[in-house]
Structure 1
Amino acid sequence: MQPQTAALRNSSTVTEFVLVGFEQSSPSTRALLFTLFLALYSLAMAMNGLIIFITWTDPRLNSPMYFFLGHLSFLDICFITTTIPQMLIHLVTKNHTVSFVSCMTQMYLVFLVGVAECILLAFMAYDRYVAICHPLNYAQIVSRQMCVRLVLTSWIFGMVNGIFLEYISFRNPFCKGNHIENFFCEAPIVISLSCGDPQFSMKLIFIDAFVVLFSPMVLIVTSYARILASILSRASSSGRGKTFSTCASHLTVVIFLYTSAMFSYMNPRSTHGPDKDKPFSLLYTIIIPMCNPIIYSFRNKEMKGAMGRALGRGNLV
């Protein structure tokens, strides 16, 4: 107890962090990465922005599914904007430091948007369940007011959960350096730099991630189990194919997001390292937000048609 107290007392106050990220890469590699990530970021912003525009303005997409999809794209834009612009700046500058407050703010926004997206994906699964299994009562069950409430619930849950996770991550002073082996302030890495007992904080993060990920997963699995039972009971093979196609897009997004989140926040810290963390961080901070609109648009004829009308090129077939 006394050594721990002495360590806390002797720890210097950290006022900034250094995001190591791709600092050790060669100038040519950083230039290549800057070009690649700028292109991916621009593509993600453009495609998600287009989905927001068409789902909120095209009267043919005036349904709960596209209402949720528009908000999913908005969350994706928020998510990539909290991390990627800063990474792009650090790829072309020598100063990779961020202030203590900036690090806290970035981490909070990542938690808020990430948790809200997990909850929203569960509500989207419930929407598909009602649409497929209770089509006659769909308009009454999933009304416009209900859609707004569900979206607000996902945001509120993300805000409250973000406050809790922020407190867990920054509750101890820092005495193990200020170099973060990633391109943004990721909670497990920040916690590993703190004094006291980082393992206790990591256990709380693990428990929180378990609740945040598996609670929505229960709703998703239950919804799709009932959808599958409904599909298999149908005689029409064409109806089955159309339903499977509609659900496949959502399931693909769920698998990508949940898998990367589980690896980042539910794996023992001893199995992590910069070479393993950065690829998964890139996956859920830029690759998934870029792929979401592609997955939904290419597998949905209504989205293709709406995009074609928005771009002034007629229907895409």
Structure 2
Amino acid sequence: MRIAVYLPLLLCLIAPLGARPLSERCEPRLATWLLTASALVLGTATTISLGMLAVTGLIRIPQLAGLGHWSAHLAQHDDPAELSVALIAGLLLGGAVVMAARTVWRRARTLAAAALEAACLPSQDGVVVVEDAAPDAFAIPGLPGRVVVSTGMLQTLNATEHDILLAHERAHLTAHHHVFVALAQLGAAANPLLRPLATAVTYTVERWADENAAASTGDRTQVARTVGKAALAAHDASTRTRIPGAALGILGRRTRLTDAGPVPRRVAALLAPPLGRHPALTAATAALLAATALSTAEAAHDLHRLLETVGAW
């Protein structure tokens, strides 16, 4: 436990360095899975590590140690963690739990409202057209979900671009991109060091949707032009009218194409050949997750032995 319990915390300093390479060099769907898994596993592991460190501080307090029939004296002698470290871990653990609970509550409430909003919106083939001069388009997850497009966006794009836009937004719904974003944000809520991973997921789900649109139309260049054209139109619009359900979009807010991710990077990626799975990055991510899981299990085993030792009195 002297080393293993701290390893997930150390890996959280290293993992964000891989967020940009994964999002830029790896196929978007695989990148989304890897980034989401990394954020969730590392967020969970660091929370567990903080909890174990906090426990080593609690068993040094005689009143609390007595509840578990442990020896506070032996704990003070055999515990590998300094009391100050245990106290800091306890404070950080409290903050992580509060932030994670807050994120779960907000996301659950948002998605529930989204499902209700989507069910109430009249649609044709899952598409809702709203009277709004501001060019806009976004997806509302639900059962079923809805694609909302403003008349301003429809007037900006031609028929081919309409199909591309709808393919992009429908990809968000069919692939349940809101789930990936929510899980990555949960991991980042538990450990703020992981925010770059959550930010990268919001980009890779857009890239994933772009690639789906390119696959359905067979014209990557046209998709790139549509993404750029829609983004510029939305950016140049002087006013935008919010719809109550817009905050229920894929990113937990109204998902304008200008806000969905770095548009120039998306356009450049579409103009380049499709990305591969990049075995080296995939293997490195898998190794990081395996090291995190093994170190957490080892630390838990060491804590169990410590509790057995201080309980033998």
Q: Which structure would you say has the larger RCO, counting Cα contacts within 8 Å and 6 or more residues apart?
A: 2
Q: TM-score, normalised on structure 1?
A: 0.28
Q: TM-score, normalised on structure 2?
A: 0.29
